[in-house]
Amino acid sequence: MEDKFYQLASFEYVADVQIVKGKLESEGIPVFLRDENTLNSDPLISNAIGGVKLQVYSKDKERAIAIYDEIRAYAVDEQGNPIVCPNCKAKRSEPYYNSKGVFYKLFPFFEKRKYKCLNCKMITNSK
């Protein structure tokens, strides 16, 4: 059951999801959203649940990643500069949410912003 779907990404805002969802569907890839109803009913808890999870069939994984890579917005710092990975110097990072601790799920503003490098997968703290 778990292997049937691949989680492409999670989003903080439903509006962002709709952009990616529309693009993937226009390419003929079925898209499944998780937690969207929860998010819509109470936007304030979107951080607590890690946002909306966008999933595709595992068989569509490679194509979905390629399409998503074309249209996604990479993480930038407060000055609007791309986050540079300290390990491989790639400028392709995305915000990373630590979903392990219940405490941080309830109080996400206590957690320092982190970024995940899309090239080497290293997770870094913001400055």
Binding residues for Zn ion (CB under 5 A):
85, 87-88, 90, 117, 119-120, 122
C-beta of 17 vs 115, nearer to Zn ion: 115
Q: In whole angstroms, what is the distance from residue 100 CA to residue 117 CA?
A: 19
Q: Report in angstroms how near the CB of residue 87 gets to Zn ion at its nearest.
A: 4
C-beta of 33 vs 90, nearer to Zn ion: 90
C-beta of 48 vs 90, nearer to Zn ion: 90
Q: Report in angstroms how near the CB of residue 121 gets to Zn ion at its nearest.
A: 7
Q: Report in angstroms how near the CB of residue 86 gets to Zn ion at its nearest.
A: 8
Tokens of 45: 């808890």
Q: In whole angstroms, what is the distance from residue 64 CA to residue 55 CA?
A: 10
Tokens of 99: 């979903």
